[in-house]
Amino acid sequence: MILMMCSALYSQDHTNVMVSMAKFDIFKQHNTVAETRIEIRQEFASNYINPLVGVMANFDGARYFYMGVYFDWMLMDGLYVTPSFAPGFYSQGRSKNLHFMLEFRSQLDLSFNISNRFRVGVNINHISNASLSRLNPGVESFAFYVLIPFKSVF
C-alpha cells in the first residue's frame, strides 16, 4: 500500500514535501518545546485550492495527523504567501492538553522560491478544537521550513 502511494506521488510532477522545525506553544511563558513537521503538498495548478497531508510531532510526545487544503498566492516574483486549513487528530503525549481529539489547524506561510520550486520559508499556525469541547485552549507554533519537489527527495 505504501509503495503504491509513493509510486503515485512520484509520478506527479507537482508534488512537494515540506519539512519544518518549529517552536510549539510559542505564547506560553515558560518551557516551549521543539516540534517537527512533514507535509506532502499536491500542486494541481496555480490559483487553485490544493490538498495537503501531514504529521506534526513535538518533543513532549504530542502528535497531530492532518489532511487539508492550501492556496499558493505569488506576491511578486518568487515570493509566496500560502494560507492553509487542516482538520486532524491530536494525541497529547506529555504535551499541552487541547481537550479534544479532533483539532483544526489554520496556518499562514511566507516563502521564497530559491530555484525550480525549491522554497525556504516561515509559517505560524494555530491549532484548536473550535469549541467542540467545553475547554478550548489552542496552541500556536512558529516554524522555519523547506519545501522540496518530491522527485528531488527520491
38-79: pLDDT as tens digits: 999 998 766 689 999 999 999 999 999 999 999 999 999 999
Write down the pLDDT at residue 30.
Answer: 67
Q: CA 57 to CA 34: how far, in whole Å?
A: 9
- Structural domain count, the chain: 1
pLDDT(154) > 70: no
The range of the structural domain enclosing residue 124 comes to: 2-153
Write down the pLDDT at residue 44.
Answer: 79
Compute the mean pLDDT over every residue in the chain, rounded to the nearest whole number: 89
83-117: pLDDT as tens digits: 999 999 999 999 999 999 999 999 999 999 998 88
pLDDT(6) > 80: no
Q: What is the DSSP string of 98-142?
A: -S-SEEEEEEEEEEEEEETTEEEEEEEEEEE-TTSSS----EEEE
Range with the lowest mean pLDDT among 29-33, 88-92, 132-136, 147-151?
A: 29-33
User: pTM score, two decimals?
Assistant: 0.86
Q: CA 24 to CA 17: how far, in whole Å?
A: 21
CATH number at residue 44: 2.40.160.20
Write down the pLDDT at residue 14.
Answer: 83
Q: CA 118 to CA 116: how far, in whole Å?
A: 6
